[in-house]
Amino acid sequence: MGAGVGAPPDNRWRILAAVLYGLFSVNVTITILAVSIHRIATEFDTTDATMTWVITAPMLAFGVVGPLVGKLGDRIGHRRIYLWGLVGAIVMAGASAAAWSAGSLIAFRTLGAIEAAATGPASFALISRIFAGHERVRALGYWAMVAAGAPVIGVVVGGPLVETFGWRALFIGQIPLVLVALVFAYRLFPETPKNVAGRFDLAGAVLIALGVTPLLFALNEGPRLGWGSPAVLVCFVLGPLALWAFVRVERAAEHPLLPLHYLRRPGFTSAITTQAALNGAYMGSFILTPLLLQNVLDFSETKTGLVSVARPLAFSLAGLLAGAFVLRLGSRRTAAAGCAAVVVALAWMATLGSGSSVPSIVGALALAGVGMGLAVPPLAASVTVSVDSSDLGIAGAAQQMMIQVGVVFGITVMQSVQQDRLPVVGLESSYHWGYAAGVVMAAIAVVTATRIASASSGPRNQEPIGEPVPIM
C-alpha cells in the first residue's frame, strides 16, 4: 500500500535507515581532524592556531548556512536538497584529500560543512513528514543520535585512524560511504511538496548570516584574542545589529525566511532554546573531559577515547527508549527528566579528580548520554508540531542553528571558567568550576523543557508526500 494523504509510507523504516546512514556519512568528518591539528600543522608548515580553523570554520558554516538551505528545501523539495548535499560532500571529500596547503584544507572542509548543513534540515523534514505521533519521537530519536553522535564518533576514532592510515585517507574513505548513501537516497526518498509562492527572501538569508556569524566568531575566538580585542568587540556589535535588521526585514517580507509568529509559540521557542542550553552544557563537558582525563588523571589518548565511548553509546541506547518514555510520562516530563539527568551528570563530573576510578568516570559520562538521548527526541518533535508542514525545513534549520550557537557558547564559557580559575584554585579544581558552569546551563534547559509541545500532535496543515520509490 502506498502513502496516501497523511498516511505513512510502508517502507518508512527503510527510508529512515537510508536517511541516518547518509547523515552519518557526511557528519562524521566534521570534527574528525580535531585530534590531528598538530600533525597537519607540521605537514603544512603552519601553526596549530591556524589549523584550528579546520574545525572552527566548518562549525561556523554549519550553523550559519542552515536557515538558507532549510528554506530552499521548503521551496524546491527536501529530497533534492538532500541529494545535492550528498553530491557536494563527495566532491569536498575528494578535494580535502588532495589539499595542498592549510588554506585549501580549511576552505574545502568549510565547503564540506555547508553540504553537511544541507542534509540536516532536509533529513529532519523528511522524517517529520513520513512519521506521525509517537513513531515520530522514536524516529527523531535516531536522527538526533546520529546528528549529534557522528561528530563525536569522529573525534573518538580520528586519532587511531590518522596514526594508522594518515589524515588524507579519512576523506578518501568517506567517498564510497557517501556514494552508497546517495544511491539509497535516490532510490528510496519520497518527493516532498514544494512551496515556491513569492520571491525568495534573500535579504533575510543575508542578514541572518551577518547576525549569527560574528557572534559565533566572537564566542569562539574571544578566549584566544581577548574579550576586549577590537575584532571581538566589533563582532559583538555587528551581530546584534544584523539580527535587529533581520527582524525588521522579516516583519515586512511577504514570504519571510523565518515566519516570526513561530517565535510566539512556546512549543517552538522553548524547544530550540532548551536544545541550545542542553547542547552547550553537553558539548562543553565533551571538550573538558578529555583534558581532565589526560592532564589530571594522566590517561593516554587511546584510553581517553575508549572511556569516552560510554557517552555516545548511552546516548544511542537511551534514544531508542525515548518513545516509550514519552508514551508513559509525556513529552514535557521526558524532556525535563533528560535535562535533569544531564544536570546530575555534570555535577558528578565536577567531583572527578586524581582519585577517581574508571567506573565512576564512565558512569558520569554514560548518565550524560542517557539524559541527552531522552531529552532530544521530544524536543525535536515539539518543533515539528509547532510549525506548518510547509516550513519543516526552515524549522529544522533554526533548530540546527540554535544548537550550534549553544555548542559554541557552552564550550567557550566552560573552558573560559576553567582557565580563569586555574591560577586561583589549581589544575584539578579548575575543571570542577568549568563543569559547574555547565550545570547552570543544563538547569536552564530543565526549566525551558517544561514549556514544549506534546509530541502526539501532527504538523499543522499536513500535506501528502509523494510515493516513495521501493528499493529493489
Q: Which CATH architecture has domain 259-457?
A: Up-down Bundle (1.20)
Please tell me the predicted confidence (pLDDT) of residue 399.
Answer: 81
The whole-angstrom separation of Cα 153 and Cα 158 is 8
Query: What angle do the packed helices 202-225 and 230-252 form, to 10 degrees?
Result: 160
At position 68, the amino acid (one-letter code) is L
Give residues with Cβ within 8 angstroms of 166, minimum separation 6. none
Name the pTM for this structure.
0.76
Superfamily of domain 10-201: MFS general substrate transporter like domains (1.20.1250.20)
pLDDT at 4 over 50: no
Assess contact for 258 and 204: CB atoms under 8 A.
Answer: yes
Cell reading at 352: 572527578
Taking the CB of residue 207, how many other CB atoms lie within 10 A of it? Answer: 22
pLDDT at 319 over 70: yes
Assess contact for 70 and 394: CB atoms under 8 A.
Answer: yes
Cell 591539528 belongs to residue: 37
- For 163-200, how does the pLDDT look when each residue is reduced to its tens digit (9 = 90+)? 778 788 888 888 998 999 899 888 888 777 666 555 66
- Choose the weakest-confidence range: 168-177, 260-269, 314-323: 314-323
pLDDT at 439 over 90: yes
Tell me the range of 193-202, 311-320, 358-367 where mean pLDDT is highest.
Answer: 358-367
- For 353-363, how does the pLDDT look when each residue is reduced to its tens digit (9 = 90+)? 888 999 999 99
